[in-house]
A = this chain, B = another copy of it.
Amino acid sequence: MNPIMPNPPRLAIAGVTGAVGQEFLKLIEERNFAFESLKLLASARSAGKTLSFLDKTYTIEELTEDSFDDVDLALFSAGGSVSKKFAPIAASKGCVVVDNSSAFRMDPETPLVVPEVNASQIEHHKGIIANPNCSTIIMNVPVWPIHQAVGVERVVVSTYQAASGAGAAAMAELEQQARDWVRGDPISQELFGRQYIWNLFSHNSDIDPETGYNQEETKMIQETRKIFADPDIRISATCVRVPVLRAHCESINLTLKNPLSEAQAREILAAAPGIRVADDRAANKHPEPLVASDQDDVYVGRIRDDAGQAPGLGLEMFVAGDQIRKGAALNAIQIAEQLVKPIAG
């Protein structure tokens, strides 16, 4: 059992200047997440800058080994190497870290949590709780209730991922490319090394030379198995970046262990937490990145019995979720909310 987290906690945000760091602040305000004190941490480059938040002006501090001496809860989103170095230091000082990087996700000692799926894992932490990959979270929220109901044997997923997953600079480059294109200027392509506007490309994470899978795909496969506590679930993933700014979509095809009608699937999804069903066949209103942007819920639509499998044993859906929000900052804040919750009973 972990020591009880003070409520409100002394809070820190590591990587506050990034897209996810900024979203942490938005969500803390929106959800009235109470804190005793707030420390905003970033690299030396941003240290000393000031930031207004909730009628107070904060000075951004450099993230160092001493940053966590007076912190109970830290939200990390400053990249894998920063997490690898500083999260264990914070934990050793009694601070609980909710880490947005991939550094500890597959560590057997570290809970990997999507609150709609495995919130109960949170209490087993040893100082660090990992926030899953954005594409994993957006897939897990709708697949889990189906898995609970009838068992999912196999998932085939293809993603349509936004620039936001590569950070604020990637979003800015995509926007700049639109301006370049309209003005007839040469297309800026420093970050992705290619024209992104009017284009799409295989996800920009390293590809395993042996298996041919990129890291994003491997994360979706391995993390889902850990979160579902089901090492046998079979997953085929293809991850692709599309010229969209901030919400990810996924085309998900399921093979079910036990039959489920489309009507039952729809009912289960509509009742599940964190999901909004958007599935209007007549008006062709289904999940779209612009609809899901800045929203907490994962949008689920195109729900249909799969024509390519035995009736009731295949299910198709198309989903959209805000990559920065539910895919990152919101999921972490939900974990933090559980941490400060008074123990029931």
Residues on A close to B: CB < 8 A? 154-156, 158, 160, 178-179, 181-183, 194-195, 197-202, 204, 207-209, 211-214, 221, 234-236, 238, 240, 242-245, 249, 251, 253, 262, 281-282, 284, 286, 288-290, 301-309, 314, 316, 318
Contacts and interface: CB of A to CB of B under 8 A. Distances in A.
A204 B284 contact: yes
Secondary structure call for the A interface = mixed
Q: Which of A156, A194, A302 has the most chain B CB atoms inside 10 A of its CB? A: A156
A212 B253 contact: no
A29 B212 CA distance: 40
A255 to B, nearest CB: 9
A335 B121 CA distance: 61
B211 A305 contact: yes
Contacts of A155: 308
A315 B154 CA distance: 15
9 shortest interchain CB distances as A-B pairs: A212-B304, A236-B308, A158-B251, A158-B158, A234-B308, A207-B281, A202-B286, A182-B182, A238-B251
A194 B306 CA distance: 28
Contacts of A304: 211-213
Contacts of A242: 160, 200, 242-243
9 contacts: A178-B178, A179-B182, A194-B288, A199-B288, A200-B288, A202-B301, A207-B284, A211-B304, A238-B253
